[in-house]
Amino acid sequence: MKQLRIGIIGAGGRSSIVEYWHKPEGNSVVVAAADVSLKALDTFKKDVNEAAFVTTDYQELLLREDIDAIAIFSPDFMHEEHATAALQAGKHVYCEKPLAITPEGCDRILDEWKKSGKHLMIGFNMRYMSMYQTMKEIIDSGVIGEIKAVWVRHFVGLGGYFYYHDWHGTAANTTSLLLQKASHDFDVIHWLTGKYAKKVSAYGSLDYYGGDKPNDLHCPDCELKDTCPEASLERLTQCAFREEIDVEDNNMVIMELEGGIKASYMQCHFTPDYSRNYTFIGTKGRIENDDVNDKVYVKTRKSGSWHEMSDIVYEMKQMPGTHGGADPRICEDFVNLALYNKQPLTTPFAGRMSVAVGCAATESIRSGGKVVYVDQGIHRPKTDEELKVEVNA
């Protein structure tokens, strides 16, 4: 039996999904980890594999012949370095989103991927969630007709806890949270419509977080910790109102996709609740999700067919595993990609394009809302129509 031997870079955060890879009696096993934190490495050995090789220098992982693939869970600004180095070392790569924090960084990764002959997969686990797979199949069935408009609202409850107490809060580390958070949403828009964004105009600002507190102030040491609404005492966290914070905490993006589809995206990090609400409107009806109640609604209009006679409500089933069952499925797809060349639901270019849209929108925000065209780079796969033209030429 073939078995994929995986090493991870970054033993915190999203690395929790390695439980779905570590199957010593199955087709994948996690054999090593690199992290700058000795505490994180100790936890990894305790929770995942006591016999695993661990190191604070990720380059040591790349030199090991007993590692076939590298899974990258390091901070966003390190993805480019880690992914290119792993591909150059001849390893298959699984990289959490966003692929990088600039389109240029993504292109450098794609360059190395093309030269390496190895596989590269992006951690777009929302493509593996029952809700969005259901919406994809419904849209592709044609029941709502040709999509013309898309509306997305993203309420990031606990946004301060997850994104303003650490490295996420500065543009140098993230570009903006239109990459860390919205890269999922831009990808779902691209995936469900089958079209990429061509141009954007956006507005956003830092209206709640940030401020005049010292950059070295941590919640447990703050005299306001008992009354501050953003105090986080479970871990050693930086103040969410410190001076260095410079990424917007609410954003509104308008996009024009290929084929003239109009799309909007709104994101807020100081809302009290968490939800992603998608609406796709076509020539025959519309589809909308309710991720709070795990439902998808399909409403139809007069179309001269039986579809106009009824609306439909889909109730999502509870699937085993984290993120609504998406994490075990995306992990399985990476193993099948590396061992059997079975293509997953996402592509490296899709990872690049979600970053390109986020960066274009950020440029628009910081230049007063001007229209910015989305750079598609040189790695875009040819469309069916383009291939037909070449065949007939």
Give residue 232's pLDDT.
84
- The DSSP output letter for 23 is B
Judge whether 95 and 69 are in contact, CB under 8 Å: no
Is pLDDT of 298 > 50?
A: yes
| Assigned architecture for domain 127-321+347-373 | 2-Layer Sandwich (3.30)
Instruction: For CATH 3.30.360.10, list the domain ranges present in the chain.
Output: 127-321+347-373
Entry pTM: 0.94
Rg of the chain on CA atoms, in Å: 22
The dihedral sign for the CA sequence 20, 24, 29, 35: positive
- The DSSP output letter for 127 is G
Tokens of 109: 């990764």
What percent of the chain is modeled with pLDDT above 70?
A: 96
Sorting pLDDT into bands at 50, 70 and 90, what band is 383?
low
In CATH terms, 4-124 corresponds, of 3.40.50.280, 3.30.470.10, 3.40.50.300, 3.40.50.720, to 3.40.50.720
Token pair 């005049």: residue: 212
Strand 92-96, strand 120-123: pairing: parallel
Tokens of 265: 């995206």
Mean pLDDT computed over 26-43? 95
Amino acid of residue 62: L
- The DSSP output letter for 65 is T
Sorting pLDDT into bands at 50, 70 and 90, what band is 20?
very high
Instruction: For CATH 3.40.50.720, list the domain ranges present in the chain.
Output: 4-124
